[in-house]
């Protein structure tokens, strides 16, 4: 009985070493993607209103696509008994997506308020978790993170709705910039 040639190779494709060698061969794609994300992040940071508009329209498109998908799904499971639930959910998503395109400024205001409230709630829950972990090492970092999240959420809510035209663009720009740097550095590291 002879062994397949794949089993004789020092780094089978399914192994971690095999996956790393596959990634190393594509290090340039990581660098290019990282550079593209950095450029997009800098553009978003240079024009926060444009970044906010792009964020809001992206969410609107995703809502509309999800709505159309759920409507088609409703007709696919018509005999299942939950047809009207799926249909209604799909129509609501589609209408919400259309409303985002109809009035992106209002949508930006709503999304910004939801973001502020979410950060306040997350900060409170993170703070509770930190104080429950208080005798253990590292609880202070969690408490610090909770305080920053809570303060950021309060700041967003206090300045709402004026900040609605730029806050989502700021978050998008920062996210793209940090993600881009991480992917770029990963690509350069894979090259070595």
Each domain of the chain, given as residue ranges in start order, spans 31-187
Query: What digits encode the pLDDT tens for the residues 15-55?
Result: 666 677 777 778 888 889 999 999 999 999 999 999 999 99
Looking at residue 2, the DSSP 8-state letter turns out to be P
Do residues 136 and 8 lie in contact, with contact meaning Cβ atoms separated by under 8 Å? Answer: no
Q: What is the dihedral of CA 109, 112, 113, 115, to 10 degrees?
A: 160
Query: What digits encode the pLDDT tens for the residues 118-138?
Result: 999 999 999 998 888 888 888
Q: What 3-state DSSP class applies to 121?
A: helix
- pLDDT exceeds 60 at position 1: no
- Its sign, for the CA torsion 52, 53, 56, 59, is negative
CA distance linking residue 116 with residue 14, whole number of Å: 44
Q: What 3-state DSSP class applies to 187?
A: helix
CA distance linking residue 110 with residue 59, whole number of Å: 12
Q: How confident is the model at residue 76 (pLDDT cuts 50, 70, 90)?
A: confident
Query: What digits encode the pLDDT tens for the residues 90-114?
Result: 999 999 999 999 999 999 999 999 9
As a whole number, the mean pLDDT across the chain is 86
Of 14-18, 60-64, 180-184, the least confident: 14-18
Q: What 3-state DSSP class applies to 103?
A: coil
């Amino acid at each position: 009985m002879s062994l397949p040639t794949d089993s004789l190779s020092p780094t089978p494709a399914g192994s971690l070493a095999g996956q790393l060698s596959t990634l190393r061969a594509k290090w340039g794609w990581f660098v290019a993607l990282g550079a593209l994300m950095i450029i997009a992040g800098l553009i978003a940071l240079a024009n926060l209103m444009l970044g906010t508009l792009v964020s809001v329209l992206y969410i609107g498109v995703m809502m509309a696509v999800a709505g159309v998908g759920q409507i088609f799904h409703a007709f696919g499971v018509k005999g299942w008994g939950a047809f009207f639930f799926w249909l209604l959910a799909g129509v609501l998503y589609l209408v919400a997506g259309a409303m985002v395109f109809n009035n992106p400024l209002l949508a930006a205001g709503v999304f910004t308020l939801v973001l502020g409230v979410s950060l306040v709630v997350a900060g409170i829950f993170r703070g509770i978790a930190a104080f429950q972990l208080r005798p253990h090492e590292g609880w202070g970092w969690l408490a610090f993170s909770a305080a920053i999240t809570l303060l950021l959420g309060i700041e967003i809510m206090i300045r709402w709705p004026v900040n609605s035209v730029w806050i989502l663009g700021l978050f998008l720009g920062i996210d793209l910039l940090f993600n881009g740097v991480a992917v770029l550095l990963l690509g350069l590291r894979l090259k070595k």
